[in-house]
Each structure stands twice: as structure tokens, then as C-alpha cells.
Structure 1
Amino acid sequence: MRKGFTLVEMMIVMMAIALLFLLTIPNIAKTVTVIETSGCKSQVSLVDTAILQFKLENQKYPKDLDDLIAAGFLIEEQRFCQNGKEIIIESNQARIR
């Protein structure tokens, strides 16, 4: 008698692996969304801090992000969140457009 797995046994194992894979996909997608959202909130908080630093050094608020970049408080890449949304200054606070 030969030892080994039958085709049916292999198919059952493959189906079990596929089922486990399908169950993890929604969790991965949800985690990516949470990471992007929290990353964008952190970016807005960073810009708010830069606004306050600009105010302390210049006795006025910046008009836009270009003022913060020109003064060296931010770099050009910090103008956008990881998900591509733009950060703007509105009423002296950072907001997501």
C-alpha cells in the first residue's frame, strides 16, 4: 500500500486555506483604513503645531501652507496625507480638504 494524500484530501486542505484567506481580507482592508485615518489626523496635528510655532516667531498666523514651508516649519510632502487628501489652513487651524 502506497503512503500519501489522495486528491480529495488535498482539495479539502486547499479549500480550508482558501476559506481562511477569504476571512482575513476584510480585516486587512479595515486595518488599512484605520491606519490611513489615524495617519491623516497625526499629520493635521503636526501642521497645527507648525502654525503655532509660526505665530510665536512671527507674531501673525500663516496665510497658507506655503508660508509654513517657506519658513522651514514644514516640507512640501507634508502638504498631503498618506491617502492623498490635501491639508489646508482655515481659521488659523489645519483642516483636511
Structure 2
Amino acid sequence: MKNEKGFTLIEMLIVLMIISTLLLITIPHISTNNSVVQNKGCEAFIKLVETQAHTYEMDKGEFPESINVLMSDGYLESETCPNGDELIMEANGLVKRKSEE
């Protein structure tokens, strides 16, 4: 009697072909959505900075002059969005991207 355990070469090639096809289909979709993900991340970071500005205002009685003040006082760890966009804080604690000026 033959011991027929394992996969044949043809079966392995078919599995590799199916996996390769799935990768070819999914990789272009991931790269096209990358900019959308980065923009959503920046929008979330802007909301975080605005929240930290209000927290600073509650603690100190006034809004911070800039994002650098929030960083130096330990309210933030970064002054830019995850995608590298620089942010500007207005006098009322609202934050926007520098490119939106």
C-alpha cells in the first residue's frame, strides 16, 4: 500500500495561483484608499487638538497661543497630522490645516 499523505505539486500550484490572484485584486484597492485613510486620520487629530485646547482652557483659564504651548505643557505629543500636514490654532481654540489658510 502507498502512503498518500500531503499535497501534490499541482494542488500546491493551484493554491498559490488563487492566493496570487487575490493579492492582485486587493493591492490596488488598498493603495487608492491610502489618501482617504490619511485624511480621516488628520481630521481625527484636529478634533483631538481642539479637545486638548479646551482642556488647557479649563485648566489655565485661557486658550493656548499655539499648538507649541500644548506640546510644551504636555497636552500633545505631536504638532502635525499623521500624514505630515501642519496645523494652526486660532484664538478661540479652533484648529485647521495650514494649507487651508
Q: Determine if the TM-score, normalized by the shorter chain, exceeds 0.5.
A: yes
Within 2, Cα distance between the matches of 1:31 and 1:37?
10
Question: 1:44 maps to which residue?
Answer: 46
Q: Which runs of 5+ in 1 are unaligned?
A: 6-13
TM-score by length of 2: 0.67
Which is worse superposed, 44-53 or 82-91?
A: 82-91
Question: 2:79 maps to which residue?
Answer: 79
- Following TM superposition, by how much is the alpha carbon of 1:20 offset from its aligned partner in structure 2, in angstroms? 6.7
CA RMSD of aligned residues (A): 2.4
Seq. identity, %: 30
- Following TM superposition, by how much is the alpha carbon of 1:43 offset from its aligned partner in structure 2, in angstroms? 0.6
Question: 1:93 maps to which residue?
Answer: 94
SS of aligned partner of 1:29: helix
Q: Which runs of 5+ in 2 are unaligned?
A: 1-9, 11-16
TM-score by length of 1: 0.69
List structure 1 segments (4+ residues) > 2 angstroms apart after TM superposition: 17-26
